C-alpha cells in the first residue's frame, strides 16, 4: 500500500516544496507515495509540518508514525498535548551553510572594523592596523548543529573561539563551557558574542543587565538565534552606556519588528529582517524523506525533539 504523506503548511510552501519532495521520494524508492495537502486523518502515515499550519489538533491522526517539522525551531508546537507521536525538527545542511556564511560575514565586519573604516559621513583619513583573527576572542552561545558548525568555522579562520551550552557538550577544536559558571566565564572573554540558543523558558533573557555587564567593555553582539534570548531594555541601556559597542539583530520577540521599535533608529544597532538562514527546499526535502525511509525500515528517526528540553 502506498504511503500517505500529508503536507501541512501554508499554501505558498506547497508550491515551493511539492517538486523537491516528490523528487526526493522518487529517489528513495517511494515514487508511488501519496503526497497531498488533504488526506483523511486516519490514513496519514507521516505529516510534513510547519508550526504555523492550521493543523493544531493531532488527535485524529492515529496511524501517523512521525511529524516531520520543516522548521529548525519547534517552540510553537512542542508543548501541544495532542502531538503524541515522534516529532523531528529540521536540521537542514542548506540552512546550516547559510547561517555559517551570514554569521561569518558579520563577525568579520566587526573584527575588521568595516563600519568604522567605510561608513563615514565626511572624508577622514585614519590609517590603522586591525588585529589578526588569532587575537580576537569570539564566543558562540549554543552548541547545537548550527552553533557547533559556526564555532568550528570561526576557529578555522583563526579566531579564539569559546562555545557555551546549558549542558556539557564536546565540539572538536572548541573550548566548550557549560552551566551558570561557564556562561560567566564565556562572556568575560566575549569580544564578539554570537547567540544560537534555542527558544525555551530556560534561555529567555540569557543576555540581561547582569550578563551584559560581564562582557568586555565595547563588545559586539550578533543574534541570529531567537529574539527572547535578549532582554531588549537591558541591551539598549548597555548600548547607550558604551558597555556594548554595537549589536546586529536578525530576530526579535515580535516580527515583523514594529515600526516604532527603538532598534530601528538606534545608531548602534543593525537590524536585518530574519534573513540569517532559511530552510532550502531541495536539501530539506532530502532530510524529510530520510526520516520517512528510516520509519519504514524501523530505524531510529534523526533530529528527534526532546520534549523535556523543548528542542
Active site residue 10: no
Question: Can you tell me the distance from the alpha carbon of 43 to that of 45, in angstroms, rounded to the nearest whole number?
Answer: 6
CA dist 311 to 13, 120, 191, 307, Å?
Answer: 23, 43, 28, 7
Alpha carbon 262 to its chain centroid, in Å, reads 24
**Neighbouring C-beta atoms of residue 218, cutoff 10 Å:** 11
Contacts of 294 (CB under 8 A, 6+ apart): 300, 301, 302
Per-residue burial over 70-82, b = 16 or more CB atoms within 10 Å of its CB, e = otherwise = bbbbbbebbeeee
Place of cell 500500500: 1
Give the active site residue among 178, 204, 253, 274: 274
Residue 49's closest CA among 84, 14, 15, 96? 14
Active site residue 226: yes
Give the active site residue among 13, 109, 166, 226: 226
Cell of 105: 560575514
**Neighbouring C-beta atoms of residue 163, cutoff 10 Å:** 30
CA-based end-to-end distance of the chain = 33
Evaluate whether 234 touches 212 at the Cβ level (below 8 Å).
yes
- Catalytic positions: 226, 274
Amino acid at each position: 500500500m502506498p504511503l500517505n504523506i500529508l503536507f501541512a503548511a501554508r499554501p505558498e510552501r506547497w508550491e515551493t516544496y511539492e517538486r523537491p519532495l516528490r523528487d526526493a521520494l522518487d529517489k528513495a524508492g517511494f515514487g508511488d507515495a501519496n503526497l497531498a495537502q488533504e488526506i483523511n486523518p486516519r490514513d496519514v502515515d507521516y505529516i510534513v509540518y510547519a508550526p504555523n499550519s492550521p493543523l493544531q489538533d493531532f488527535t485524529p491522526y492515529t496511524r501517523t508514525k512521525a511529524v516531520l517539522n520543516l522548521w529548525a525551531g519547534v517552540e510553537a508546537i512542542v508543548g501541544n498535548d495532542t502531538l503524541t507521536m515522534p516529532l523531528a525538527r529540521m536540521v537542514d545542511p542548506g540552512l546550516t551553510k547559510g547561517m555559517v556564511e551570514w554569521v561569518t560575514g558579520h563577525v568579520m565586519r566587526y573584527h575588521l572594523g568595516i563600519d568604522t573604516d567605510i561608513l563615514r559621513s565626511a572624508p577622514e583619513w585614519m590609517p590603522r592596523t586591525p588585529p589578526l583573527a588569532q587575537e580576537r576572542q569570539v564566543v558562540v552561545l549554543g552548541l547545537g548543529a548550527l552553533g557547533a558548525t559556526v564555532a568550528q568555522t570561526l576557529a578555522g579562520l583563526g579566531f579564539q573561539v569559546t562555545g557555551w551550552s546549558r549542558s556539557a557538550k564536546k565540539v572538536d577544536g572548541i573550548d566548550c563551557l557549560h552551566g551558570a559558571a561557564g556562561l560567566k566565564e564565556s562572556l568575560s572573554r566575549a569580544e564578539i558574542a554570537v547567540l544560537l540558543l534555542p527558544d525555551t523558558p530556560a534561555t529567555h533573557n540569557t543576555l540581561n543587565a547582569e550578563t551584559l555587564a560581564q562582557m568586555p567593555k565595547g563588545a559586539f553582539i550578533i543574534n541570529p538565534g531567537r529574539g527572547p534570548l535578549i532582554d531588549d531594555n537591558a541591551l539598549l541601556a548597555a548600548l547607550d552606556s558604551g558597555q556594548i559597542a554595537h549589536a546586529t539583530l536578525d530576530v526579535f520577540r515580535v516580527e515583523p519588528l514594529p515600526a516604532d521599535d527603538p532598534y530601528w533608529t538606534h545608531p548602534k544597532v543593525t537590524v536585518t529582517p530574519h534573513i540569517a538562514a532559511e530552510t532550502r527546499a531541495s536539501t530539506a526535502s532530502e532530510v524529510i524523506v530520510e526520516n520517512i525511509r528510516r520509519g519504514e525500515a524501523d530505524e531510529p528517526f534523526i533530529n528527534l525533539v526532546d520534549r523535556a528540553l523543548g528542542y
